[in-house]
């Protein structure tokens, strides 16, 4: 990564180093610092890079962390701020965006620090007041947010994920909590008891009680809720589905209250018109009803399926390879609880045998569970047997590839659905 600076540049890659350039020393490249110094580079920290680029105090950085809901919360917050007259950039799982313009394709949920700084620079140059970024547990553990001064931090929720990396849920929780222990402004899901945080500059949100809460709500046709704080009451109406999205909305309302201090009804009105994020409860077809969602953790799957528990469901899903294996049978059990028909298929098997993953997922599911390794064939089977049920295709969301043995083959759940439906129409 290189960023131009006057007659030289800033880099985090020792192979790019030239005399008089600046080499940002990070957690991942520190072993090359001496080589960069020997080649004539000036060694700087990420914080110094921000200062050299004139970015310090030029934009307000908002960090969103949690197992699920980060992406929807980020885009809903940007949408709300825009409706209220404030321009934002977003960086996370879907890539990096300024308004509707994509400035970087999807990669890591939280990019390497110099990449993030380059996105912040573009956001400042485009007149953004806010830079909203997803902050993953990997990024916290690997110090990929070093040098960033956050105006506000949002915590969504915590459930089992990434135990292949963190080894235990308690360690995962510790890492997430470490992001919330400073005195920065914080918006915390008060209904989630798995996290620790500093109470200074804190605002909690909840479905029951808290600084901002939903005193009543109805979820049958979108989200309709009464939102309260200690002195105000407002009506919220959103074209999103599920209790989990009400939580996301409450987090955004709390964040906007902290940032802009507007009246509660103006903030709730600012959320209106949000159409969701690609691959997050994305309706690909109305007749037949087919929805694609990114849910790939036990908690994420539970939230999606429980939001539609009054409907009959056909669910196509799998589990990623080279990731936490302990969650696979749990995911299968949750799908079995809600689905009329469950089809276990391949997700991103990576270096693992997809059939082995499928067997682990299905190990505690009923014997009549359908297993189809080829994901396209699994989706076709589901559409063929669909008879008024809602078809949910889970795990990949807006991904446009399937990763098998180190190769990313083109694959989109949405495009596969459209192709199959087009053939049926003909």
* Binding site residue list: 19, 66-72, 109-110, 136, 142, 144, 323, 347-350, 395, 399
- Cα gap 258→149, rounded to integer Å: 16
Instruction: Quote the tokens at residue 357.
Output: 């993953």
Write out the DSSP string of 205-264: EESSSSSEEEEEEE-SSSEEEEEE-SS-EEEEEES--SHHHHHHHHHHHHHHHHHH---H
- Dihedral sign for Cα 157, 159, 162, 168, please: positive
Residue 288, preceding bond cis, omega within 30 degrees? yes
Question: Which residue ranges make up the annotated binding site for ATP?
Answer: 66-72
Which parts of 27-185 fold into alpha helices (H)?
Answer: 33-38, 46-52, 70-83, 113-125, 137-141, 163-166, 169-178
Strand arrangement, sheet containing 390-394: 282-285, 290-293, 390-394, 313-317, 341-344, 370-371
Give the chain's radius of gyration (CA, Å). 22
Count the Cβ atoms, other than its own, within 10 Å of residue 27.
Answer: 13
Strand partners, 154: 64, 187
User: Which residue has 């180190």 as its token pair?
Assistant: 406
End-to-end CA distance of the chain: give it in Å, rounded: 49
Which DSSP category does 12 fall into? S
> Strands 88-92 and 22-24: what pairing?
unpaired
Which DSSP category does 30 fall into? G
∠ CA(303), CA(309), CA(313), 5° rounding? 100
Question: Which residue ranges make up the annotated binding site for meso-2,6-diaminopimelate?
Answer: 323, 347-350, 395, 399
Which residues make Cβ contacts (< 8 Å) with residue 62, sequence separation at least 6? 77, 130, 131, 132, 133, 150, 151, 152, 153, 154, 255, 259
């Amino acid at each position: 990564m290189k960023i131009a600076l006057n007659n030289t540049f800033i880099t985090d890659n020792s192979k790019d180093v030239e005399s008089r350039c600046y080499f940002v020393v990070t957690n991942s490249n520190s072993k090359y610092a001496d080589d960069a110094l020997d080649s004539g580079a000036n060694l700087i920290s990420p914080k110094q890079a921000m200062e050299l680029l004139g970015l310090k105090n030029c934009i307000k950085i908002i960090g969103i962390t949690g197992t699920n809901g980060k992406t929807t919360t980020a885009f809903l917050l940007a949408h709300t701020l825009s409706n209220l007259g404030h321009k934002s950039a977003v960086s996370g799982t879907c890539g990096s965006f300024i308004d509707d313009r994509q400035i970087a394709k999807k990669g890591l949920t939280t990019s390497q620090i110099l990449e993030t700084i380059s996105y912040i620079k573009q956001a400042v140059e485009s007149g953004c007041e806010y830079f909203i970024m997803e902050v993953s547990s990997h990024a916290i553990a690997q110090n990929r947010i070093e040098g960033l001064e956050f105006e506000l931090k949002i915590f969504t929720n915590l459930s089992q994920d990434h135990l292949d990396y963190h080894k235990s849920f308690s360690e995962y929780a510790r890492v997430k909590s470490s992001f919330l222990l400073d005195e920065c402004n914080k918006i915390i899901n008060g209904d989630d008891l798995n996290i620790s945080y500093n109470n200074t500059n804190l605002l909690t949100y909840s479905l029951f009680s808290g600084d901002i809460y939903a005193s009543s709500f109805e979820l049958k046709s979108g989200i309709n809720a009464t939102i309260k704080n200690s002195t105000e009451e407002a009506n919220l109406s959103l074209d999103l589905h599920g209790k989990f999205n009400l939580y996301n909305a409450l987090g955004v309302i709390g964040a906007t209250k902290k940032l802009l201090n507007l009246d509660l009804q103006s903030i709730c009105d600012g959320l209106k018109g949000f159409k969701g994020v690609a691959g997050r409860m994305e309706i690909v077809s109305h007749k037949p009803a087919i929805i694609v969602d990114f849910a790939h953790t036990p908690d994420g799957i539970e939230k999606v399926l429980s939001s539609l528990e009054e409907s009959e469901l056909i669910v196509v899903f799998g589990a990623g390879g080279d990731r936490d294996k302990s969650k696979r049978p749990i995911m299968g059990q949750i799908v079995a609880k809600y689905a009329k028909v469950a089809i276990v298929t391949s997700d991103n098997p990576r270096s693992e045998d997809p059939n082995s993953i499928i067997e682990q997922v299905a190990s505690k599911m009923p014997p009549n569970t359908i297993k189809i390794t080829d994901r396209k064939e699994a989706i076709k089977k589901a559409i063929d047997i669909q008879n008024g049920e809602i078809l949910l295709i889970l795990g990949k969301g807006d991904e446009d590839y399937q990763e098998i043995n180190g190769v990313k083959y083109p694959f989109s759940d949405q495009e596969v659905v459209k192709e199959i439906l087009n053939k049926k129409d003909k």
